[in-house]
Amino acid sequence: MSTDLFCEIVAGERPAYVVSSDEVAVSFLDTRPVFKGHVLVVPRVHVETLTDLADVGPFFERVQAMARAVEEGLEAAGTFVAMNNRVSQSVAHLHVHVVPRNKKDGLRGFFWPRTKYDSAEEAESYADRIAKAL
Ligand SMILES: [Zn+2]
């Protein structure tokens, strides 16, 4: 069995700002968000890429719910939902990025400067706001 950063988060062996967790997927804040409230949705089972995922439907239901919650919980105008497979994939455990978007937020193309949370409290408040909208 493979182990990586996200397997450790799924197993509860590594701390993360978890937004939601069930038998299919675990969702938590990206520690270096494109915008604050940037969530990663990962399948509980270890698979590397989309083509390795056997049961796609239940996983993408979680992605869909997260996209709605990020919008509603953070009062964002929209979201960007994306997945890198192998190329530009930072952790070899499938993960979907759900990024809150707003008009004139400055995001253009695929050069994405990352930001940081000012404090643990701030990160927790973003996780809470999204979780409450689920
Ligand atoms: Zn893994």
Q: What is the torsional sign of CA 70, 131, 62, 24?
A: positive
What is the distance in A from the centroid of ligand 1 to the CA of 102? 31
Q: What is the percent of the chain where pLDDT is above 90?
A: 89
The mean pLDDT value of the chain amounts to 94
What is the distance in A from the centroid of ligand 1 to the CA of 105? 32
Place of tokens 């993360």: 16
Give the pair of three-digit tokens for residue 54.
């056997």
Q: Are 5 and 56 in contact (CB under 8 A)?
A: no
**Which pLDDT belongs to residue 107?**
82
Model pLDDT for residues 33-92, shown as the tens digit of each residue: 999 999 999 999 999 999 999 999 999 999 999 999 999 999 999 999 999 999 989 999
What is the distance in A from the centroid of ligand 1 to the CA of 19? 18
Look at residue 110 and tell me whether its pLDDT is greater than 70. Answer: no
CATH top-level class for 5-133? alpha beta
In whole angstroms, give the CA distance from residue 113 to residue 107. 9
Q: What is the torsional sign of CA 102, 104, 106, 109?
A: positive
What is the distance in A from the centroid of ligand 1 to the CA of 26? 12
Catalytic residue among 38, 93, 95, 97: 95
What is the distance in A from the centroid of ligand 1 to the CA of 31? 17
Q: The pTM is what?
A: 0.89
93 is catalytic: no
From start to end of the chain, where are the E strands? 18-21, 25-29, 39-43, 78-82, 96-101
In whole angstroms, give the CA distance from residue 95 to residue 56. 13
